[in-house]
């Protein structure tokens, strides 16, 4: 049986299996058939980001669901966290997002949410993959599903975001630049932040189907940094193509990543006695300096595998309400059920106003170790643990660094890459050791 699901749904290059129209047709049928087994009245909502192939896969999935007897609600362009929320709002059995997140337009993929707004479990994914190996068979014509377009979904999500914010907080003195990555927040972010009083300048909010994440957004902030400095803004906010990541830029034009933003929120929530169980969940990639910062505050830190799905699992198991990772997935579980860039940004803005500090000042309250990340492209499966040369070099580097550094080598869960990360107190050591390991992998 093929394994289609990665750490964040199914993703790949458009036109290359499994990212094809015929597969998405069968995928819709397979998911619909599994859902229909569990519940007689079954419906799904489908959202997508702004890449051109979304039209193709939206239609294919819709046809697949209808052939399984499942009703479909079409949401149009919508951030991933919005689909998680709207799945619950519309009482759907499941939610579907057509997106390749932070990747460029040549890629696409799909993510799924349960009725409660959380992502599908591994068990449900296994059932779907088993069904995909079977012949596709439509229900009788009298049982074919119906489709409707939900026209009010945009307004519902905008209101939901605004309700997550403390309305006693005044944003009118903040000058904010927002980078929408030409993605799914393009028609939402302006409304949310300006209606809450912020002085907002929006950039990269004109998607054409091809420019999603192109030299913009959370994965490429150079344009945002430039605009923040040119406009003498207080800060910049960057989302990725599907709106579930947040990276911020302070008034000096310097980046604040997801680990730092999670720390800023966690420290403030602890002071307000809002941090449930005095606990924050991060990942294996969470910087040693951030970990030390939590320790100094007496905040418990729990490590999850990389990926917001794994962060969320650890949060639920340990009854935590705050988790995040450096790439910008920040989960505020008392507000929503998934990583949400807009809602996370609003929590940071609350901290800024209430503390009367700038983002730069808040970021300076924790000192990160130097972290070097090198991605090695690979078109084949490499067993890292069986590469004796690599493992020996890793052991030697770890021995030299001791408690003042860290090495992590792992395969990407979403791309054909091996990720090498080295942390150290000095930049040169981190860079040299990361390059040494990278050279071994070629």
Task: Please choose, from the candidates 91, 99, 361, the residue with its C-alpha nearest in 3D space to the C-alpha of residue 251.
Answer: 361
Both 137 and 54 in one domain: the answer is: yes
143-183 pLDDT, tens digit per residue, is 999 999 999 999 999 999 999 999 999 999 999 999 999 99
Predicted local distance difference test score (pLDDT) of residue 291? 96
In a domain, 83, yes or no: yes
In a domain, 1, yes or no: no
On the question of pLDDT at 1 being above 60, the answer is no
Please state whether the peptide bond connecting residue 202 to the residue before it is cis, i.e. omega within 30 degrees of 0.
Answer: no
Starting at the edge strand that comes first in sequence, how are the strands of the sheet with 370-377 ordered? Answer: 370-377, 417-424, 405-411
Both 149 and 15 in one domain: the answer is: yes
Say if residue 214 is exposed, middle or buried (CB neighbours under 10 Å; 0-12, 13-18, 19+). Answer: middle
Instruction: Please give the helix or strand (H or E) that residue 408 lies within, else none.
Output: strand 405-411
In a domain, 250, yes or no: yes
In a domain, 17, yes or no: yes
Both 251 and 262 in one domain: the answer is: no
The average pLDDT across 68-92 equals 98
Neighbours of 175 (CB within 10 A): 17
Residue 438 vs residues 165, 237, 329, 433: alpha-carbon distances, Å:
44, 32, 26, 9
Task: Please choose, from the candidates 341, 340, 363, the residue with its C-alpha nearest in 3D space to the C-alpha of residue 351.
Answer: 363
Which CATH number do you get for residue 354? 3.40.120.10
Query: Between these two residues, 1 and 106, which has the higher pLDDT value?
Result: 106
Domain range spanning residue 296?
Answer: 257-363
In a domain, 2, yes or no: no
213-244 pLDDT, tens digit per residue, is 999 999 999 999 999 999 999 999 999 999 99
Strand 107-114, strand 417-424: pairing:
unpaired
The average pLDDT across 192-199 equals 97
Both 186 and 226 in one domain: the answer is: yes
Question: pLDDT category, 2, cuts 50, 70, 90?
Answer: low
In a domain, 5, yes or no: no
Question: pLDDT category, 380, cuts 50, 70, 90?
Answer: low
Both 269 and 348 in one domain: the answer is: yes
Both 29 and 101 in one domain: the answer is: yes
In a domain, 411, yes or no: yes
Catalytic residues: 101
Question: pLDDT category, 381, cuts 50, 70, 90?
Answer: low
On the question of pLDDT at 377 being above 90, the answer is no
Both 81 and 135 in one domain: the answer is: yes
Neighbours of 195 (CB within 10 A): 14
């Amino acid at each position: 049986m093929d394994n289609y699901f990665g750490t964040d749904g199914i993703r790949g290059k458009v036109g290359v299996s499994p990212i094809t129209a015929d597969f998405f047709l069968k995928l819709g049928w397979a998911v619909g058939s599994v859902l229909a087994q569990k519940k007689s009245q079954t419906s799904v909502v489908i959202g997508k980001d702004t890449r051109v192939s979304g039209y193709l896969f939206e239609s294919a999935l819709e046809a697949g669901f209808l052939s399984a007897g499942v009703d479909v609600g079409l949401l149009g362009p919508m951030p991933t966290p919005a689909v998680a929320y709207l799945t619950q709002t519309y009482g759907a059995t499941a939610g579907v997002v057509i997106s390749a997140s932070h990747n460029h337009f040549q890629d696409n993929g799909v993510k799924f949410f349960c009725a409660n707004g959380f992502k599908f479990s591994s068990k449900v994914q296994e059932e779907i993959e088993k069904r995909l190996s079977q012949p596709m068979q439509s229900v009788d014509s009298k049982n074919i599903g119906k489709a409707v377009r939900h026209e009010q979904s945009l307004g519902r999500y905008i209101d939901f975001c605004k309700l997550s914010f403390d309305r006693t907080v005044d944003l009118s003195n903040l000058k904010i630049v927002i980078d929408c990555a030409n993605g799914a927040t393009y028609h939402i972010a302006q409304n949310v932040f300006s209606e809450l009083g912020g002085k907002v300048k929006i950039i990269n909010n004109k998607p054409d189907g091809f420019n999603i994440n192109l030299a913009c957004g959370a994965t490429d902030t150079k344009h945002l940094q430039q605009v923040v400095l040119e406009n003498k803004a207080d800060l910049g906010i960057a989302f990725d193509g599907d709106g579930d990541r947040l990276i911020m830029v302070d008034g000096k034009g310097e980046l604040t990543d997801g680990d730092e933003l999670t720390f800023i929120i966690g420290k403030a929530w602890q002071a307000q006695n809002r941090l449930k169980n005095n606990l924050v969940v991060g990942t294996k990639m969470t910087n040693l300096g951030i970990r030390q910062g939590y320790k100094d505050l007496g905040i418990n830190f729990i490590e999850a595998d990389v990926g917001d799905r794994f962060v969320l699992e650890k949060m639920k198991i340990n009854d935590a309400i705050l988790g995040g990772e450096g790439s910008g997935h920040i989960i505020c579980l008392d507000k929503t059920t998934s990583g949400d860039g807009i809602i996370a940004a609003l929590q940071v803005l609350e901290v800024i106003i209430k503390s009367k500090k700038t983002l730069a000042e808040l970021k300076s309250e924790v000192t990160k170790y130097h972290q070097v990340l090198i991605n090695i492209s690979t078109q084949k499966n490499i067993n890292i643990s069986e590469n004796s040369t690599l493992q020996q070099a890793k052991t030697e580097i770890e021995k030299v660094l001791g408690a003042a550094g860290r090495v992590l080598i792992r395969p990407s869960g979403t791309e054909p890459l091996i990720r090498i990360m080295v942390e150290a107190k000095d930049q040169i050591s981190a860079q040299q050791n990361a390059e040494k390991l990278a050279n071994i992998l070629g």
